Structure 1
Amino acid sequence: MPLCFAFYGLLRKRLNVDAAAGLAVETLLLMPIVAVYFIWLAGNAEHSFRFADPENALLLSLAGFITTVPLVLFNIAARALSMTVLGIMQYLAPSISFLVGVFLYGEPLGQVQLMSFGLIWTALIIFTIDGVTRQRRLERQLGSDITGS
């Protein structure tokens, strides 16, 4: 999944297509696959989209629209931000979900989960420090090249 999302982010950044048009193309490309899957689910009585329950049908109908907004915003951000910043930001959502699960919903936090979370964020901190150090070094080098010293 991370490789797929990284490739998707890189592709979206490199293509010169605005967010809404890109999302429309992505949706049209995936629609036949989703339609076949929905037909298969309906044929096997495994679908959840039942009109007998209007509240559930309304929520499922709105789910597509509600998930479109973050996708459009992500596409806009992917073109405006560097891949490094975008990559680091992709750790925020799962981290926030993790913290909400632990502190608001009382999910168990064992030693393995805590160590995994700590290792991931330690690696991100090291990566960030390295990136900032490289950027400062490059800026100093460019500054000395411009001044001729």
Structure 2
Amino acid sequence: MMNEKDLIEQKIFNDTSSYQDIMNIPYHQSKRHLAMNQLDRAAQFAPFGALEGFNDLIKEKAEDYRRKKYTSTDDEKHIIRQLKYLQIHSSKVEVNYFNDTSGYYEHFKGYLQDIDWLKGRANFDQDSVVILNIRSIKSVKK
């Protein structure tokens, strides 16, 4: 005895009644074009192979971002004010930020070199950080 789901699938996928008028028409082999060999026919679908594993990659990135704590608007404004201050007053700072490659919070110490506002990145001595990924900036005693 089939369950309801199997019956519905059978009706949807096995019902050929709407195609009866063309079911027994013989296949027309072109006289102008040779039949395409199987390898070439399969190659037509190769671009779709690039999507293989894409869902797994998205799930992996989502898992990385699960640990990210998103900052409030006030916190973002505070960090931007700090960065603008550091552009004028060079001082060594400790930056705590979310590393979107590792999926964890990390920190480093350094001096602000420049800010690329269009790309939303703050460039320090050795590190370039997405501004929205910065959790905190603290002064370091010399």
Greater relative contact order (Cα 8 A, min sep 6): structure 1 or 2? 1
TM-score (norm 2): 0.26
Question: Normalized per residue, which structure has more helix?
Answer: 1
TM-score (norm 1): 0.25
